[in-house]
């Protein structure tokens, strides 16, 4: 059967992230009666587990120590270490074994070539040192059973497997359950009220994340994500981009030896489907081959209603607008990859991701213009049919080099992402007078966009351990983003037979950005104190070109980005941190591209190629307290920025608004955020997040004072996790955000409730999940905007009340491991007995 596994893997291509990348608890195998009956030697293995903390050796309590036969990896025996770290395994038969020692928060330790024989029946291993996996200079993790949210002083980690309400969804659905993050109806993310967020995948800027963030998050299925890291104040090691911080998506990778895999199918209301398969084969602990395929297809309706009052034109005093649309998205992700530990000191990894996609959006809008007496003066009916086909490749290659000196490490990573797409939009417009008769000839417009994009990244990082738990790290990085957008705009008026090119709107826009960076960090620990200081230097050259008009623009700028972190351990249960970072928000492509978007002819938009980058100084003071069943993180934060990049809308005399982008003078915000984890009962765990902040926006002399304003805002989210029975979990999430300001208005408050359930079946091989998002269908976005001569109110909603039912099937050696871990935690599946391998 094992040979069949290997053949199957080779034929399939075996390459992608698999299920269960972390081992939250440790399997403790139980010796079978047959093994006990055939023992020829009552062998014994004993030892003591220790780890180093604050310069002292301390015991590792309640760690799992498991013994396996080397010949076939069958489980022989297992025990748990006591309060002082001691363990003893008795009744061991003759043979050659290997031992796995595991505990949450520590690197798994494997001891090979343990031989029990009549001549040597007892083996004393002495003191065995374990290395902590999550203890870093700037973070302290809460130990215990993995919950929905794990805390450290510089980041929050959201474990996706603890979110039944997102099963069958995408990364965008997960973001709606992440503390401090909100998502609007267009998929735009904001963190603590700021949309300037950087998205990383496995700590690297994936080619996907170099493009439209909403499209990226919709393409990544929730089933392939292990966790989301929220880093609000990154150190100098990270790119300086992102005023609000970083959201790092950690993909799953199977760590267990042998062949493992999972398959998932989800079906949602109103034609929504997604499926995935993840396969993995780890050979001799040295070579890991993986592959995955994910398919997502969905149809989703949306509508927008807008009322606008025009104070400058009595004939077009009021505008009532409504558009109804439906979108269809079809995304595929096919990934192949490998991890190869060539030697104990050299490792190589690589992957290829292929991502074809197809999108089609159709909508119809009706515009009614009224005069000052509320009499209809004009009606416009406009339909849009937009189709986009495209695809791309992501290539990744990584090298890890260890040295004879412990913890000294060199890593080199290279990524290249390419994507091409063709988008064709067809608009049909009819205009009628007050009498209901056509007042203008029928208008057809066609917009063809050809996009050719490339994102390339080269990065090298070096870590040097120093005395007294100190460390020095440094690195270099080069990033090139090249985007070529060719826009052809054509008109056909009345009975015309041929399309005519509209020279005003036709344009080819080239965006070519080169950023070179270097950084250095130094940190050390001194009893209860620890600190880290760093500096990052970034130089950016940005060239933009409008090839149709011959207009070019170039920007060159160099900035220093310091960072500083100071930690103090008040006690084992309380930690404090003070940190400071400087960051930058570079204008994104849409904000720079002068192409005029006419999809809504009465509300057009275009970019500004002369935008300057925005600079941010961020400060945080954090306190972390955790107990046996409760943990609380409190953070006071202050963020000040200059040259804020913002959307700016003006009204023309003909009743058309134009939106572009400007640099404001500055803005600042400050507030308090609290995140609490509470075990209310053995079957009920809750996670709550509350954030309160005050934001002030100040305009510069070039922008009207209407943009200067201040308001208070707050958000609250509560996630409840329930264990209804063994292997039967549920989640109820409630989210609310109060009104908050934007430069020309205010976004009103909104709330939503999500629910999900998951039931293990087939002795742990499978699980059935059910989720309903936005149960009460309350998630809609209301925006009030104003400017010189106008005021408008908009209500927007896309389909958010969606039900999904799905099934997941797991196979391979991981199934047995997962079941034993559940038994350790007292969960179990829906039945007893061992689970056979596939």
Confidence at 53, pLDDT banded by 50, 70, 90: confident
Q: For 378-398, what is the mean pLDDT?
A: 94
Tokens of 27: 């399997």
Residue 541 is predicted with a pLDDT of: 95
Say which residues have a Cβ less than 8 Å from residue 783's Cβ, sequence separation at least 6: 742, 745, 746, 747, 748, 793, 794, 796
Residue 143 is predicted with a pLDDT of: 39
Of the two residues 225 and 766, the one the predictor is more confident about is 766
> Does residue 389 register a pLDDT over 90?
yes
> Does residue 617 register a pLDDT over 90?
yes
Of 690, 750, 739, residue with least CA distance to 717: 690
Type and span of the H or E element at 819: helix 813-825
SS (H, E, C) 313-347: CHHHCEEEEEEEEEEEEEEEEEEEEEEEEEECCEE
Cβ atoms within 10 A of the Cβ of 139, count? Answer: 19
Tokens of 258: 């042998």
Q: Rounded distance, CA 121 to CA 161, Å? A: 43
Residue 54 is predicted with a pLDDT of: 60
186-200, 319-333, 491-505, 562-576 — which is least confidently predicted? 186-200
Percent of the chain having pLDDT more than 70?
A: 81
Q: Pairing mode, if any, of strands 766-773 and 781-787?
A: unpaired
Q: What is the pLDDT of residues 159-211, one digit of tens each?
A: 776 665 555 567 777 776 676 676 665 566 667 656 667 777 777 665 444 44
Q: What is the pLDDT of residues 421-468, one digit of tens each?
A: 999 999 999 999 998 999 989 999 999 999 999 999 999 999 999 987
Q: For 79-84, what is the mean pLDDT?
A: 79
Of 250, 248, 238, 249, residue with least CA distance to 618: 238
SS (H, E, C) 653-670: CCCCEEEEEEECCEEEEE
Residue 825 is predicted with a pLDDT of: 45
> Does residue 706 register a pLDDT over 80?
no
User: Average pLDDT over the chain, rounded to whole?
Assistant: 81
> Does residue 795 register a pLDDT over 80?
yes
Confidence at 27, pLDDT banded by 50, 70, 90: very low
Q: For 331-356, what is the mean pLDDT?
A: 91
Confidence at 19, pLDDT banded by 50, 70, 90: very low
Of the two residues 817 and 399, the one the predictor is more confident about is 399
Q: For 387-413, what is the mean pLDDT?
A: 92
pTM of the full structure: 0.73
Q: Rounded distance, CA 729 to CA 124, Å? A: 42
Q: Rounded distance, CA 12 to CA 812, Å? A: 16
């Amino acid at each position: 059967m094992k040979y069949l596994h290997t053949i199957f893997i080779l034929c399939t291509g075996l390459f992608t992230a698999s299920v269960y990348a972390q081992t939250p608890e440790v399997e403790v195998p139980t010796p079978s009666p047959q093994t006990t009956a055939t023992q020829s030697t009552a062998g014994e293995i004993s030892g003591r587990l220790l780890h180093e903390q604050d310069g002292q050796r301390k015991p590792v309590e309640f760690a799992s120590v498991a013994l396996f036969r080397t010949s076939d990896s069958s489980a022989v025996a297992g025990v748990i270490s006591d309060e002082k770290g001691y363990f003893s395994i008795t009744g061991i038969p003759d043979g050659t074994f290997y031992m796995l020692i595991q505990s949450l928060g520590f690197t798994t330790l494997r001891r090979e070539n343990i031989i029990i024989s009549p001549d040597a029946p007892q083996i004393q291993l002495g003191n065995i040192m374990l290395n902590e996996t999550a203890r870093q200079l700037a973070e302290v993790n809460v130990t215990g059973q993995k919950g929905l949210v794990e805390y450290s002083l510089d980041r929050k980690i959201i474990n996706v497997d603890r979110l039944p309400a997102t099963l069958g969804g995408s990364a965008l659905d997960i973001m709606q359950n992440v503390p401090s993050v909100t998502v609007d109806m267009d998929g735009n993310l904001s963190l603590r009220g700021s949309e300037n967020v950087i998205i990383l995948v496995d700590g690297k800027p994936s080619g996907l994340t170099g493009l439209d963030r909403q499209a990226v998050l919709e393409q990544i299925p929730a089933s392939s994500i292990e966790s989301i890291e929220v880093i609000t104040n990154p150190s100098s090691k990270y790119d300086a981009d992102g005023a609000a911080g970083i959201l790092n998506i950690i993909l799953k990778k199977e760590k267990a030896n042998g062949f493992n895999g999972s398959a998932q199918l989800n079906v949602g209301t109103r034609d929504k489907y997604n499926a995935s398969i993840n396969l993995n084969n780890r050979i001799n602990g040295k070579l890991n081959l993986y592959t995955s395929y994910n398919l997502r297809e969905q149809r989703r309706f949306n509508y927008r209603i807008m009322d606008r009052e025009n104070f400058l034109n009595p004939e077009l005093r009021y505008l009532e607008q409504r558009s109804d649309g439906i979108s269809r998205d079809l995304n595929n992700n096919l990934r192949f990859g490998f991890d190869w530990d060539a030697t104990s000191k050299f490792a190589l990894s690589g992957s290829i991701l292929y991502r074809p996609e197809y999108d089609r959006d159709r909508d119809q809008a009706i515009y009614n213009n009224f005069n000052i007496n509320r009499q209809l003066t004009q009606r416009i009916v406009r339909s849009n049919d937009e189709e986009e086909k495209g695809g791309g490749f992501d290539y990744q290659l990584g090298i890890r080099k260890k040295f004879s000196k412990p913890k000294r490490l060199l890593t080199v990573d290279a990524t290249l992402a390419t994507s091409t797409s063709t988008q064709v939009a067809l608009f049909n417009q009819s205009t009628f007078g007050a009498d209901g008769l056509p007042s203008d000839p029928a208008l057809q417009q066609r917009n063809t966009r050809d996009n050719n994009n490339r994102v390339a990244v080269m990065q090298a990082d070096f870590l040097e351990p120093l005395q007294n738990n100190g460390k020095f790290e440094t690195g270099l990085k080069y990033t090139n983003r090249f985007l070529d957008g060719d826009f052809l705009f054509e008109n056909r008026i009345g009975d015309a037979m041929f399309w005519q090119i509209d020279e005003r709107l036709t344009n080819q826009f080239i965006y070519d950005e080169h950023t070179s960076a270097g950084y250095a960090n130094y940190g050390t620990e001194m009893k209860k104190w620890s600190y880290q200081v760093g500096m990052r230097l970034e130089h950016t050259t940005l060239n933009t070109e409008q090839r149709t008009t011959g207009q070019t623009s170039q920007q060159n700028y160099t900035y220093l980005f310091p960072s500083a972190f100071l930690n103090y351990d008040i006690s084992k249960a309380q930690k404090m941190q003070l940190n400071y970072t400087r960051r930058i928000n570079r204008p994104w492509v849409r904000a720079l591209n002068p192409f005029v978007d006419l999809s809504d002819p009465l509300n057009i938009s275009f970019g500004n190629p002369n935008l300057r980058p925005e600079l941010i100084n961020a400060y945080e003071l954090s306190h972390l307290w955790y107990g046996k069943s409760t943990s609380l993180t409190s953070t006071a934060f202050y963020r000040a920025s200059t040259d804020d990049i913002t959307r700016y809308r003006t009204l023309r005399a003909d009743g058309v608004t134009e939106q572009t982008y400007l640099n404001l003078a500055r803005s600042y915000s400050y507030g308090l955020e609290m995140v609490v984890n509470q075990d209310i009962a053995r079957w009920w765990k809750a996670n709550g997040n509350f954030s309160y902040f005050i934001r002030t926006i100040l305009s510069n002399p070039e922008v009207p004072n209407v943009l200067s304003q201040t308001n208070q805002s707050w958000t609250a989210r509560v996630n409840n996790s329930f264990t209804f029975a063994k292997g039967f979990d549920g989640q109820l999430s409630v989210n609310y955000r109060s009104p908050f300001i934007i430069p020309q208005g205010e976004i009103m408050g909104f709330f939503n409730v999500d629910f999900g359930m998951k039931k293990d079946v087939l002795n742990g091989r499978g699980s059935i999940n059910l989720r309903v998002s936005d149960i009460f269908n309350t998630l809609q976005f209301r925006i009030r905007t104003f400017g010189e001569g106008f005021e408008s109110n908009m209500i927007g909603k896309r389909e958010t009340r969606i039900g999904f039912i799905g099934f997941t099937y797991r196979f391979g050696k991981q199934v047995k491991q997962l079941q034993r871990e559940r038994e350790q935690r007292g969960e179990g599946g829906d039945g007893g007995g061992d689970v056979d391998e596939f």
